[in-house]
A and B are shown apart, each in its own frame.
Chain A
Amino acid sequence: MSTRPLDLLQGTLDLLILRTLALQPMHGWGISQRIQQMSEDVLRVNQGSLYPALNRLETAGWIESEWGASENNRQAKFYRLTRAGEKQLRAESESWARMTAAVGKILKGSEAL
C-alpha cells in the first residue's frame, strides 16, 4: 500500500467541508489544510474541486460566505455553516456511516470467500 495521499471521491468532499465548517468558520485554504490534518495527511484536497464545491454548497444554502480578516490580518473569504447546512451534515453523516458499514460488511464477506 502506498502512503501517497488519496484524492477525494466526488461527493465525500461536500461532507468533509461541512464537517470542517461545523468546528468554526474558515477560509478556503484553511479548509483544505484542516481536512489534510484531520485525516493525518491521508486525504488531499484538490483545489480544482474545493472552490467549485464551496460555490455549490453556497448556492444550495448550506454555507454562507463573508469577507473578513485572516489570522495574519489579510482579507480572506470566510465560509460558515448555515442552519440548513447543519441539518444536511447530520443527514449525510448518518447515510455515510450506513454506507461504509454496509460496504465494510460486504468486503469482509468477500475476504471470507
Chain B
Amino acid sequence: MKALLTWLRRHRLERDLEAEFGFHLDRETEAGMARGLPRDTARALAISRFGAADAHKADVRQTRESFAIDGFIDDIRASLRSFRRQPGFCATAVLTLALGIGANTAIFTIVNAAFFARYPLDSPERLVRLYGQDEPRNLQQLGMSAPRFQLLRDQQTSFASIDAATFLPFTLGGTEPAQVNGASTTSSFLQTFGARPLAGRFFLPDEERDASVVVIGESLWRTRYGADPAVVGRVLTLDGTPRTIVGVAPRMPAFWDADVWAANPFQFPGVGQDAIERGFSYLAAVGRLAPGVSEAEARGELDVLLGRYRAAYPSNADAAWTGATVPMLEDIVGTTRSSILALLAAVGLLMVVACSNVANLLLVRASSRRQEIGLRLAIGASRGRIARQFLVESLALSGLGAAAGAMLAWWALPALVELARNNLAFVAEIQLNLPVLGATVLLAVVTGLLVGAYPAAQGSQTDVVSSLRDGGRSVAGAPKGHRVRRVILATQVAVSLVLLIGAGVLVASFLKLRAQPPGFDSSQVFVAGISLPPGTYPDGPSQERFYFRLAAALRNAPGVTQATLAQNAPLGGPFSRAPYASAEGDIPPLSERPLGLTRSVLPGYFATLGIPLLAGRDFSERDTANQSPVAVVSAATARRLESEGRPVLGHRIIMGSSGGGQVMEIVGVVGDVRSVTLASTPDVEFYRPVQQRGRPFMQMIVRTSGRADAFEATARQVLASIDPSLPLTGATTLDAVVTQSLAQQRLLFIVLAVFAGLAVVLSAVGIYGVVAWYVGQRTTEIGVRMAMGASRARVVRGVLGQTLGPVALGLAIGVVVAASLARSVQGLLFQVSPLEPALVAASTATLAIIALIASAVPARRASRVSPAEAMRSA
C-alpha cells in the first residue's frame, strides 16, 4: 500500500516534469523560429541550451528528497532513520515509554474489568444488591432471612422482580465424586439477573420448592458434558439424589457463578427450619429495578416494608435491622475499589516520570541538533515543517513505546492476574481487550504530543545564523532550555518521592500485619474441606460419627502428630456469627443481642493448632447432644465478661436464634486467635462441640511431622478408606491460608513497590542525562576554567550545583504532595501513619543519595577534562 502510494507520487512527479520540460523546449523552439531560424535548427539550439534533461530531473528529485518531508509518512520514515542512527537514545526513550505505557495498560485492564466489564447480562446497571444492616451493633452488608425476603417479595412494587440465593457446595455423584459450587435460588433468580439460558430453560415458578430439577452452569457444561445441547433431560446425582437437568446457565460474574443451580432456597444444611423462620440471615438478595424507579426510591419503599416486618416478627433475630442497597456493578468490585484507585493513581504518577524523562531526552537531542536544524532552515525548510518533524518524531517514539508497552502488559498480565487471583472477585474477567488497547493508543498519542510539544517549539525557534556559526556547540548553553530541564527534573524527583513514600508505608504496613501474632501455630499444618451430602448423612449423629471416625483415622495415618476437624480453620474462609447474651439476670430480646463468632470444633482443636488453654477444659467425646450444652470462649470474651463482674467458668450464656437461643455453660477459656483477619482480634469468639452444633461442612486440620503440603495423597487415602464417595476439596496448608489472607495488601504493596522502583530508576536516568548533557555542552568552558587554575573539586561542585538545586526542590515538593495525599491512603494502612517520619526521612534520603550518584558520575568526568583537549575541540 505504502509502496504503491510512493510509486504513484513519484510517477506523477516524473510525468509533470516531462510535460513541463516539453513545454519549455517547445516555447524555446518557437522563439528561435520567431528570430528567423529554421524549425530543425531552432529545436536543436533549444535542446542544447536546455542541457541534459535527465540530469535536471535527477536534480529535482534530489531537491525533493533532501527535504524528505513531502508528507507524514516521509516524516515518520525520516524519524525512524534518525532513530537508527542513534540507537542508544532511541532504546532509552522507547524503553522508558514502554514501561510507563505497559504499566498503564496493565492497570487499565484491571480497572476496565472492575468498572466497565460487560457481563453477558441484560442491563446489569439496573440490578441492586439488597443488604441488611444492624446500626446499633455497627454491622453492615448482612444477608437476608427467609421470612424477611418473602415479605419483601410479596409486598414490594419498586422492583420488576426480587430474588434470593444461597451459595454452597454440592457433591456430584458418579465414578469420580466431585465437590462443585452450588446455589439454591428462588425460581426467577437467573431471569432477574438478566441471564439467558444457553440450552433448555431456567426454573418455572412452581419449581421453587421442587428438588427434582437443576440448571447447570456453563463451565460444568463445557468440562463435564462437552457443551452438548442434548444435556437437557439427562440426570445427575446431587448430594446422593438424582436430579433432571432442565437447562444451562451462562457464566455469571465473580462470586455469583455456580456449577449447579438448584431450587429450594428456604432451607440451609445444618440449620433447623425453626432458626430459619426466626431470622437466620443466609440469603443473598438481588432486585431488578422496575422501569422508571430509581435506587433511592426503591430504598424508600424498602424502609417502609422493613417497618412492617419488624411489626410482624418483633422477636426475630433480624427484626431491628434496617435495609441498604448497593448497585450490583459496584458490589462486585466491593472492597477492592480503594486498592484499585490507589493503583490507578500510582500508575499515573509513574507515567508522569516516564514522560518527563522522554521530554528531557528529546530536549537534549534537540539541542544537539541545532546545527542540523539551522542548516535545514537555511536551505529553505519552514519552521512549521521543523516543528512538525519534531512532533512526528516524538509521536513515532511514543508509538513504538506503546507497541512495546502493550507487549509488556500482555506478557506481565498473567503474572499480575496470578497475583490478584484471590483478592479481586472479578479476576476471571481480566483480559486485554479493545477498550484497553484504545486507551493505550490514546495514551501514546497524548504522551507523544505532551512530550514533543516543547522540544518542537524550541527546535523550530533555532536561530539560523548562530546555530551555524557555533557549529552546533554553544559555549554559554541555551539558558532557557536548561531552565525547563531543571523544572522537569524537579517534577520527576517530586513524583518519585511520592511513589517511594507510598510504597514505603504500604510495605511497612504489610510487614507489621505479617508480624502480628495470629494466636495459633500455622507451620506444618495441612487443611482440606469435606462436605457431607444429606442423602447419606441426614442427621447430626450420622455426621458426628463420620467426623470422629475420620479424626481417629487421620491420627493413625503415617506422618501425623495431631489431627482434628473444625467448621473452618482460622483465617480460612467464611465464618458464622450468632446472637448471644448472658443467661443470668435479665435476658434481652433476640433482636437486641450482640453477635459473636461461633465455630464448631472437634476435641483436640486447640491442641492441634497450638492455641493455649488458659482455664477450664477442652471439649471431649462426652459432650454429646444429650449432655448439657457447653462452650469454650476466647480470652477477649472472658475479659469482657469479667469486666461486667461475672465469673467466667461456669457462667451461663444463651446463644443462637433457634428456639430463642440455647442456654450453655462456659467450661473453658483459650488464647485469643486472629481468626477473621490478621489485623485484629475478635471481641467475642465462642467454640462449640460439633456434637452439640452440627455442621455438614468441616475442614480437617492435620499437624504433620514432615511437609504439610505433601500430606494430600495420604489425606485422600484416609478419606476414601472411610467413604470413597466423598471428594476432598481445597487442600492447602495453614501457612498458605495465612498468607492468602493478606493477598490484597500484598498485591498492592508489590505493585506499588515495583512502580516506585521504576520511578526511581527513571529519575536517576533523567538526572544523569541532564548532568551529562550539561557537562558535554560545557567541555570547553570547563577546560578554560581548569587551565586558569580551577581545582577539580571546584569543577565538580559547579556541575553538581546544576542538579542539586532542582533535586532539593523536588524533594521538598514531594514531601508536601505526599502529606496532602496522606488522608486518602489512610484506609489502606495497618498501624502505620501515611507520614511515618522515619519512612519519609528514609525515602527522601534514598532518593537524595541516588540523585547524588547519578549526577556525580558525569560530574567526575567533567573534572577529568584535559584543558588542552577541551580547548582544541572548541
Residues of A with Cβ closer than 8 Å to B? 14, 27-29, 33, 46-49, 51-52, 55-57, 59-62, 70, 72, 74-77, 84
Q: Are A75 and B64 in contact (CB under 8 A)?
A: no
Q: Which chain B residue shows the least CB distance to A32?
A: B24
Q: Which chain B residue shows the least CB distance to A57?
A: B380
A–B pairs, 14, beta carbons within 8 Å: A27-B24, A47-B24, A47-B49, A48-B55, A48-B56, A48-B59, A55-B60, A59-B67, A59-B70, A59-B380, A70-B23, A75-B23, A77-B19, A77-B23
Q: Are B56 and A47 in contact (CB under 8 A)?
A: yes
Instruction: Enumerate chain A residues within 8 angstroms of B62, measured Cβ to Cβ.
Output: 52
CA A89 to CA B813, docked complex, whole Å: 51
Asked if A47 meets B23 with Cβ closer than 8 Å, knowing A59-B69, A59-B380, the reply is: no
Instruction: Enumerate chain B residues within 8 angstroms of A48, measured Cβ to Cβ.
Output: 51-52, 55-56, 59
Most chain A beta-carbon contacts within 10 A, residue among B55, B56, B385: B56
CB distance from B77 to the nearest CB of A (A): 16
> Per a CB cutoff under 8 Å, which of A27, A29, A49, A56 touches B28?
A29
CB distance from B161 to the nearest CB of A (A): 68
Q: Are A52 and B24 in contact (CB under 8 A)?
A: no
CA A52 to CA B61, docked complex, whole Å: 8
CB distance from B317 to the nearest CB of A (A): 83
Q: Are A52 and B63 in contact (CB under 8 A)?
A: yes
B607 in the interface (beta carbon within 8 A): no
Q: Which chain B residue shows the least CB distance to A59?
A: B67
Q: Are B51 and A47 in contact (CB under 8 A)?
A: yes
Q: Which chain A residue shows the least CB distance to B49?
A: A47
> Per a CB cutoff under 8 Å, which of A28, A46, A62, A72 touches B20?
A28
B521 in the interface (beta carbon within 8 A): no
Asked if A55 meets B63 with Cβ closer than 8 Å, knowing A47-B50, A47-B51, A60-B382, the reply is: yes
Q: Are A56 and B23 in contact (CB under 8 A)?
A: no
Instruction: Enumerate chain A residues within 8 angstroms of B28, measured Cβ to Cβ.
Output: 29
CB distance from B833 to the nearest CB of A (A): 62
Q: Which chain A residue shows the least CB distance to B23?
A: A76
B17 in the interface (beta carbon within 8 A): yes
CA A76 to CA B17, docked complex, whole Å: 11
Which secondary structure dominates where chain B touches chain A? helix
Q: Are B24 and A28 in contact (CB under 8 A)?
A: yes
List 7 additional A-B contacts (Cβ < 8 Å) besides A47-B51, A55-B63, A61-B382: A29-B24, A47-B56, A51-B20, A51-B59, A52-B60, A56-B379, A70-B23
CA A62 to CA B27, docked complex, whole Å: 26
Q: Are A27 and B23 in contact (CB under 8 A)?
A: yes
CA A77 to CA B16, docked complex, whole Å: 8
CA A14 to CA B70, docked complex, whole Å: 20
Which residues of B17-59 are within 8 A (CB) of A? 17, 19-21, 23-24, 26-28, 30-31, 49-52, 55-56, 59
Q: Which chain A residue shows the least CB distance to B50?
A: A47
Q: Are B52 and A60 in contact (CB under 8 A)?
A: no
CA A70 to CA B26, docked complex, whole Å: 12
CA A46 to CA B739, docked complex, whole Å: 85
Q: Are B20 and A77 in contact (CB under 8 A)?
A: yes
Q: Are A51 and B380 in contact (CB under 8 A)?
A: no
CB distance from B381 to the nearest CB of A (A): 7
CB distance from B78 to the nearest CB of A (A): 14
Q: Which chain B residue shows the least CB distance to A49?
A: B59
Q: Are B56 and A29 in contact (CB under 8 A)?
A: no
Q: Which chain B residue shows the least CB distance to A46?
A: B51
Instruction: Enumerate chain B residues within 8 angstroms of A47, measured Cβ to Cβ.
Output: 24, 49-51, 56
> Per a CB cutoff under 8 Å, which of A52, A72, A75 touches B56?
A52
Query: Closest 9 CB pairs between A and B?
Result: A60-B380, A52-B59, A29-B24, A29-B27, A52-B63, A55-B63, A76-B23, A77-B20, A55-B60
CB distance from B404 to the nearest CB of A (A): 34
CA A48 to CA B54, docked complex, whole Å: 10
Instruction: Enumerate chain B residues within 8 angstroms of A75, measured Cβ to Cβ.
Output: 19, 23
CA A70 to CA B24, docked complex, whole Å: 11
CA A60 to CA B383, docked complex, whole Å: 10
Instruction: Enumerate chain B residues within 8 angstroms of A52, measured Cβ to Cβ.
Output: 56, 59-60, 62-63
Q: Which chain B residue shows the least CB distance to A14?
A: B380
CA A62 to CA B385, docked complex, whole Å: 13
Instruction: Enumerate chain B residues within 8 angstroms of A76, measured Cβ to Cβ.
Output: 20, 23
CA A48 to CA B19, docked complex, whole Å: 16
Asked if A29 meets B23 with Cβ closer than 8 Å, knowing A47-B49, A60-B382, the reply is: yes
Asked if A56 meets B380 with Cβ closer than 8 Å, knowing A47-B49, A47-B51, A48-B56, the reply is: yes
CA A74 to CA B26, docked complex, whole Å: 10
CA A49 to CA B55, docked complex, whole Å: 10
CA A49 to CA B384, docked complex, whole Å: 26
CB distance from A48 to the nearest CB of B (A): 5
Q: Which chain A residue shows the least CB distance to B70?
A: A59
Q: Which chain B residue shows the least CB distance to A56?
A: B63
Asked if A51 meets B19 with Cβ closer than 8 Å, knowing A29-B24, A46-B51, the reply is: no
> Per a CB cutoff under 8 Å, which of A29, A46, A51 touches B60?
A51
Q: Which chain B residue shows the least CB distance to A61?
A: B382
CA A49 to CA B380, docked complex, whole Å: 15
CA A62 to CA B426, docked complex, whole Å: 60
Instruction: Enumerate chain B residues within 8 angstroms of A55, measured Cβ to Cβ.
Output: 60, 63-64
Q: Are A84 and B382 in contact (CB under 8 A)?
A: yes
Instruction: Enumerate chain B residues within 8 angstroms of A51, measured Cβ to Cβ.
Output: 17, 20-21, 56, 59-60
Q: Which chain B residue shows the least CB distance to A88?
A: B380
CA A74 to CA B16, docked complex, whole Å: 14
CA A29 to CA B26, docked complex, whole Å: 10
Q: Are A59 and B63 in contact (CB under 8 A)?
A: yes
CB distance from A36 to the nearest CB of B (A): 11
CA A101 to CA B62, docked complex, whole Å: 34
CB distance from B841 to the nearest CB of A (A): 58
Instruction: Enumerate chain B residues within 8 angstroms of A29, measured Cβ to Cβ.
Output: 23-24, 27-28
Instruction: Enumerate chain B residues within 8 angstroms of A74, measured Cβ to Cβ.
Output: 23, 26
Q: Which chain A residue shows the least CB distance to B17?
A: A51
Most chain B beta-carbon contacts within 10 A, residue among A33, A47, A49: A47
CA A93 to CA B735, docked complex, whole Å: 86
0/1 interface trace, chain B 50-94, chain A, CB 8 Å (1 if under): 111001100110111001011000000000000000000000000
Which residues of B164-215 are within 8 A (CB) of A? none
Instruction: Enumerate chain B residues within 8 angstroms of A77, measured Cβ to Cβ.
Output: 16, 19-20, 23
CA A30 to CA B30, docked complex, whole Å: 13
Q: Which chain A residue shows the least CB distance to B380?
A: A60
CB distance from A62 to the nearest CB of B (A): 8
CA A14 to CA B378, docked complex, whole Å: 12
CA A29 to CA B63, docked complex, whole Å: 20
CA A84 to CA B383, docked complex, whole Å: 12
CB distance from B355 to the nearest CB of A (A): 32
CB distance from A6 to the nearest CB of B (A): 16
Instruction: Enumerate chain B residues within 8 angstroms of A46, measured Cβ to Cβ.
Output: 51
Q: Which chain A residue shows the least CB distance to B53?
A: A47
CA A61 to CA B51, docked complex, whole Å: 27
Instruction: Enumerate chain A residues within 8 angstroms of B19, measured Cβ to Cβ.
Output: 75, 77
Most chain A beta-carbon contacts within 10 A, residue among B17, B31, B382: B382
Instruction: Enumerate chain A residues within 8 angstroms of B69, measured Cβ to Cβ.
Output: 59
CA A27 to CA B62, docked complex, whole Å: 21
Most chain B beta-carbon contacts within 10 A, residue among A49, A51, A72: A51
Asked if A60 meets B381 with Cβ closer than 8 Å, knowing A48-B59, A55-B63, A77-B16, the reply is: yes
CA A48 to CA B24, docked complex, whole Å: 12
Instruction: Enumerate chain B residues within 8 angstroms of A70, measured Cβ to Cβ.
Output: 23, 27
Which residues of B380-422 are within 8 A (CB) of A? 380-382, 384-385
CA A109 to CA B572, docked complex, whole Å: 102
Instruction: Enumerate chain B residues within 8 angstroms of A56, measured Cβ to Cβ.
Output: 63, 67, 379-380
Q: Which chain A residue shows the least CB distance to B66?
A: A56
CA A51 to CA B69, docked complex, whole Å: 19
CA A56 to CA B381, docked complex, whole Å: 9
Which residues of B670-717 are within 8 A (CB) of A? none
Instruction: Enumerate chain A residues within 8 angstroms of B49, measured Cβ to Cβ.
Output: 47
CA A61 to CA B70, docked complex, whole Å: 11
Q: Which chain A residue shows the least CB distance to B384?
A: A61
CB distance from B226 to the nearest CB of A (A): 66
CB distance from A66 to the nearest CB of B (A): 11
